[in-house]
Amino acid sequence: MSKTKLLLIALLGIFCASLFTGIVFAADFVPAAELKAPAGASLYVLPVDQVSEKPLRIATIMVQNNPFGMAVMKGTLFAKEVLKDRNCRVDWISVPDFDPKKFEDAMQNVITAQYDAVTLFGLSEALQPVVDKAMDAGVKVYSFNTEPGMESKRIAYWGQDGFAGGQKCGQLLMDAMDGEGKYAIITGSFNVLGHELRRTGARDVIDKNEKMVLVGEFENQDKAEEAYNVTQNLITSNPDLKGIYVTAGGPFGAAKAIKDAGLTGKLKLVCHDWMEETVAYIRSGEVTACLDQDPFNQGYAPVISAFNQIVAGIVPEEINFFEGDVATPENVNEKIPQ
C-alpha cells in the first residue's frame, strides 16, 4: 500500500475519532474582526478566534416578563450565533418573575446538567449560596444587572452601578421639578438588589432637600400595566404631584397614565432604559429623562467573556460598569435617531 493511501487512512481515522470525542479541528467561523453588531448596539467584548476543543455549554438565566428582558435576550442570542461555530452552545433559560426560589431552581438545574458556565441576572443576596455552590461544582458564574449578593464567588459583573444610577436619576428628577414639590417612586421590587440600589441612590440625593416631599414608594414588578395603575392612583390622590421616578421595568405604563391625565410636561417622569416603548414617550414629552444601561451587552458580554475565559484563559475585569447616557425630549432625536 502506498504512503499516500496510508496517510489518507490515518487522516480518516482521526476525523472519525473526532466525531465521537467532540474535538473540532476546523476553524470555520466568522473572525472577531468581521463581526458586525446589530443596529444601535456595540460589542463590549469580542470572542477569541478559537474553536473549543470540546463542546461547551453556557446558560443565561433571566426574567422575560418585560421589554428589558427581551432586550437582554437579544444580546444573548447574538452571542449564541457568534459562538455556535466555535463549538459552544448557548441556552436561554427564562424565569417567569422575580421569585428568588425560581431563580435558585434554575441555577440548581444548571448545576445538575453540568454546564460549563452560567450568566445570571443576580436578583438578590438570596442567590449567593447557590451561586457559590455552582462555582464549587465547577460551573463558572458571571452576573449582570444585579449582584447575587455582594460577597458571592461569581467571577465578574456587567451592568450599571445601581446606586450611582439612582443618584443620577434622583438629581435629574429634582432638577426637573425645580428642586421642590411632591414626588413618588415606583420600583420593580423591594426584593431585587439592583432596584433597591437605585431607589436608595435616588433617596440619598433627594432626601437632602427638605423641599422635596415623598408621598410614597410602590412596586410594579416590572410590569407596565401595574405602573399605569399606580400612577393613576397617585394622580388621583395627589393632584399636585410634580414628579415620579421609576427605578425598573414598565415606565411606559406610567408615561401613558400621565398622557391620559393630560399632564404631559407638567408631571415629570424619570426612568431607565431606552426601550422602544419608552422612547416613544420621550419623543412625545411624557418621559422627562431616561438613563440607559445597555441591556444588549448585559446579555451579550458575559456570555462571550465566559467563552474567552474557558477557551483562552482570558479572565475578564471583575467589575464592568456601563455608565449609560441620558435621553430627553430635547436630545432624543440625536441620541436615538428614528
pLDDT in tens, the chain (338 residues): 554 444 444 444 444 444 444 444 445 899 999 999 998 889 999 999 999 999 999 999 999 877 889 999 999 999 999 999 999 999 999 999 889 999 999 999 999 999 999 999 999 899 999 999 999 999 999 999 999 998 999 999 999 999 999 999 999 999 999 999 999 999 999 988 899 999 999 999 999 999 999 999 999 999 999 999 999 999 999 999 999 999 999 999 999 999 999 999 999 999 999 999 999 999 999 999 999 999 999 999 999 999 999 999 999 999 999 988 999 999 999 999 88
Q: What is the spatial distance between Cα 109 and Cα 97, in angstroms, rounded to a whole number?
A: 17
Let me know whether 255 and 305 are in one domain.
no
Domain count, the chain: 2
Strand order in the sheet with 181-187: 212-219, 181-187, 241-246, 268-272, 289-291, 326-327
Let me know whether 143 and 244 are in one domain.
no
Beta-carbon neighbour count of residue 305 at 10 Å?
Answer: 26
Which three-class secondary structure string do you get for 154-172?
CCEEEECCHHHHHHHHHHH
Q: Is 16 contained in some domain?
A: no
Helix (H, G, I), strand (E, B) or coil at 103: helix
Let me know whether 52 and 155 are in one domain.
yes
Q: What is the spatial distance between Cα 184 and Cα 165, in angstroms, rounded to a whole number?
A: 17
Let me know whether 156 and 166 are in one domain.
no
Distance of alpha carbon 39 from its chain centroid, rounded? 18
Q: Is 4 contained in some domain?
A: no
Long-range contact pairs involving 80-84 (C-beta distance under 8 Å, separation at least 24): 80/303, 82/30, 82/35, 82/47, 82/304, 83/47, 83/56, 83/58, 83/303, 83/304, 83/307
Let me know whether 215 and 153 are in one domain.
no
Read off the C-alpha cell for 307.
467563552
Cβ pair 48, 311 in contact under 8 A = yes
Q: Is 66 contained in some domain?
A: yes
Let me know whether 119 and 177 are in one domain.
no
Which three-class secondary structure string do you get for 196-247?
HHHHHHHHHHHCCCCCEEEEEEEECCCCHHHHHHHHHHHHHHCCCEEEEEEC
Q: Is 67 contained in some domain?
A: yes
Which one, of 122, 297, 298, 302, lies nearest residue 194 by Cα? 122
Q: Is 9 contained in some domain?
A: no
Which secondary structure element, helix H or strand E, spans residue 173, and what is its range?
helix 162-176
Let me know whether 279 and 299 are in one domain.
no
Amino acid at 249: G
CATH code of residue 142: 3.40.50.2300
Let me know whether 81 and 228 are in one domain.
no
Q: At residue 327, what are phi and psi to the nearest 5 degrees?
A: -110, 140
Cα Rg of the chain, angstroms: 23
What percentage of the chain's residues is helix, strand, coil (to nearest 5)?
A: 45, 20, 35
Q: Is 331 contained in some domain?
A: no
Let me know whether 67 and 52 are in one domain.
yes
Q: Is 23 contained in some domain?
A: no
Q: Is 20 contained in some domain?
A: no
Let me know whether 108 and 144 are in one domain.
yes
Instruction: List the domain range (segments joined by +) for residue 210.
Output: 162-292
Let me know whether 173 and 137 are in one domain.
no
Let me know whether 205 and 87 are in one domain.
no
Cβ pair 58, 308 in contact under 8 A = no
Q: What's the predicted TM-score (pTM) here?
A: 0.79
Read off the C-alpha cell for 175.
432638577
